[in-house]
């Protein structure tokens, strides 16, 4: 099973593992577990808290996008959405479990948060802060599409308290951006990046995708060179995947194709590996299967590390995911249903899953494996479990195949293992979660 997919062409399906157990196990009839947590009193030493707010609007739908995004909403509809989001946050803020808590991190994701106007963003954030003050937040992260950014908007975003600005660059070539359905072009990347740098965001991240439609060896190297020349604090590189529910998949279906019109997995892995080498040569450090950072001592990603360490995260807005008191939560994914439930003064939760002790250990372990290195003493101290014994057979098997090394203190992925870590994580799933649908 371990490398059954490694020589394959890119077919349809999810590669990236963002949670465990898979979303297909989360159910509407388990939502009562979320209510039990919210009605319980907050522990005296609570978990770190984060708030995610989802903004589902985009200028245009990218051909590889599998999110529920809306490209046709008027200002009045966006206002109604923000009002609902605030009402949802206020409802959470009055529960015994969350009342009075201050978030350690905030994340604006989408969709395209930077699609909102300055006045919409100011309205949203001021009202959020009135419920959950941000004065103790270590990080406020904000995703942007370069073509939506003006100097005035970036200035306002910085003044809201955003510390980590993430630019969805994906590629620097106009033909590749266009053929993959991106709304922005290379001129807009340069302009937005220069504005953001001048304004003084503490951390700028650039997202790239290896293996978009029409990507070539030369262009990929050029993309990496251009990213290095910008000197961002952090670069995130994804390998192109084609989930169901994408325009590319629909076109594959119509033409009866099983293979997506993008590079195969070995090529994408090689491209990411070559990019890692180029970044390392430029002084960056590889800090996960997807990230390189300029200075690992200074450049942290609080949202990711807190979440992968079991923090509470309140997921708000349509279709958003959260994790509260050991229960996975997902909101309604249709905007009409979401708005109606908030108007009816309900929590707009669609499905949930309370994770048991074993699943909690596996979840944190597999997510932390994506960082390339796992400190086994963390699991010993937190869960009183010795992972090298618990998973000895799988670990030995993966070591024999050169995907990782381990001793009694540390598990470390090799470069080859790290580049395909999401395939390998399935090996640690419980039997009942093997071969299940992901979404």
Q: By CB under 6 A, name the binding residues for ligand SF4.
A: 58, 61-62, 65, 67, 69, 110-112, 145, 168
Which residue, 15 or 406, is less far from ligand SF4 as judged by CB?
A: 15
Quick check: 54 and 338 in contact, CB under 8 A? Answer: no
Which residue, 139 or 170, is less far from ligand SF4 as judged by CB?
A: 170
Least separation, in Å, of the C-beta of 70 and ligand SF4?
10
Least separation, in Å, of the C-beta of 149 and ligand SF4?
13
Which structure tokens are listed for 239? Answer: 């390998």
Which residue, 145 or 312, is less far from ligand SF4 as judged by CB?
A: 145
C-beta nearest to ligand SF4: residue: 65
CA distances for 157 relative to 107, 135, 312, angstroms = 13, 16, 25
Distance separating alpha carbons of residues 215 and 115, to the nearest angstrom: 27
Which residue, 33 or 268, is less far from ligand SF4 as judged by CB?
A: 268
Least separation, in Å, of the C-beta of 73 and ligand SF4?
13
By C-alpha distance, which of 13, 84, 30, 111 is closest to 327? Answer: 30
Least separation, in Å, of the C-beta of 59 and ligand SF4?
8
Taking the CA atoms of residue 99, residue 104, residue 109 and residue 113 in that order, the dihedral angle to the nearest 10 degrees is 90
Q: Is 392 helix (H, G, I), strand (E, B) or coil?
A: helix
Which residue, 238 or 423, is less far from ligand SF4 as judged by CB?
A: 238
Which residue, 146 or 417, is less far from ligand SF4 as judged by CB?
A: 146
Which residue, 148 or 267, is less far from ligand SF4 as judged by CB?
A: 148
Least separation, in Å, of the C-beta of 238 and ligand SF4?
11
CA distances for 415 relative to 56, 373, 411, angstroms = 35, 11, 13
Least separation, in Å, of the C-beta of 187 and ligand SF4?
18
Chain centroid to Cα 105, Å, comes to 14
CA distances for 374 relative to 155, 225, 380, 438, angstroms = 38, 31, 12, 24
Least separation, in Å, of the C-beta of 138 and ligand SF4?
26
Distance separating alpha carbons of residues 418 and 434, to the nearest angstrom: 21
């Amino acid at each position: 099973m371990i490398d059954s997919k490694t020589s394959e062409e890119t077919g349809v399906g999810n590669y990236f593992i963002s949670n465990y157990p898979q979303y297909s196990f989360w159910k509407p009839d388990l939502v009562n577990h979320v209510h039990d947590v919210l009605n319980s009193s907050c522990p005296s030493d609570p978990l770190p808290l984060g708030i995610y707010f989802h903004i589902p609007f985009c200028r245009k739908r990218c051909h590889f996008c599998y999110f529920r995004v809306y490209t046709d909403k008027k200002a009045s509809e966006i206002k109604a959405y923000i009002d609902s989001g605030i009402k949802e946050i206020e409802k959470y803020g009055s529960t015994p479990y969350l009342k009075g808590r201050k978030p350690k991190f905030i994340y604006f994701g989408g969709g395209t948060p930077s699609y909102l106007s300055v006045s919409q963003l100011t309205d949203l954030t001021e009202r959020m802060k009135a419920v959950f003050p941000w004065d103790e937040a270590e990080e406020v992260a904000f995703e942007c599409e370069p073509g939506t950014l003006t100097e005035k908007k970036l200035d306002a975003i910085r003044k809201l308290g955003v510390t980590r600005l993430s630019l969805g660059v994906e590629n620097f070539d106009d033909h590749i951006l266009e053929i993959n359905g991106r709304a922005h072009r290379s001129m807009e990347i340069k302009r937005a990046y220069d504005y953001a740098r001048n304004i003084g965001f503490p951390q700028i991240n650039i997202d790239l995708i290896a293996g978009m439609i029409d990507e070539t060896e030369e262009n990929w190297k050029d993309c990496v060179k251009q990213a290095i020349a910008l000197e961002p604090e952090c670069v995130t590189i994804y390998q192109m995947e084609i989930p169901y529910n994408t325009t590319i998949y629909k076109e594959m279906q119509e033409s009866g194709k099983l293979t997506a019109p993008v590079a195969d997995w070995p090529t994408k892995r090689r491209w990411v590996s070559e990019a890692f080498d180029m970044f390392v040569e430029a002084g960056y450090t590889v800090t996960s299967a997807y990230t390189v950072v300029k200075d690992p001592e200074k450049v942290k990603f609080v949202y990711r590390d807190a979440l992968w360490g079991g923090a509470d995260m309140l997921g708000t807005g349509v279709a958003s995911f959260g994790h509260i008191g050991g229960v996975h939560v997902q909101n309604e994914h249709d905007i009409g249903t979401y708005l109606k439930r908030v108007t009816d003064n309900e929590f707009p939760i669609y499905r949930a899953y309370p994770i048991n002790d074993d699943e909690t250990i596996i979840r944190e372990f597999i997510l932390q494996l994506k960082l390339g290195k796992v400190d086994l003493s963390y699991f010993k101290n937190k869960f009183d479990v010795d992972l090298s014994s618990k998973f000895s057979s799988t670990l030995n098997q993966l070591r024999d195949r050169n995907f990782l090394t381990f001793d009694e203190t540390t598990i470390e992925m090799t470069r080859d293992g790290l580049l395909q870590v999401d395939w390998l994580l399935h090996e640690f799933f419980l039997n009942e979660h093997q071969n299940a649908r992901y979404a």
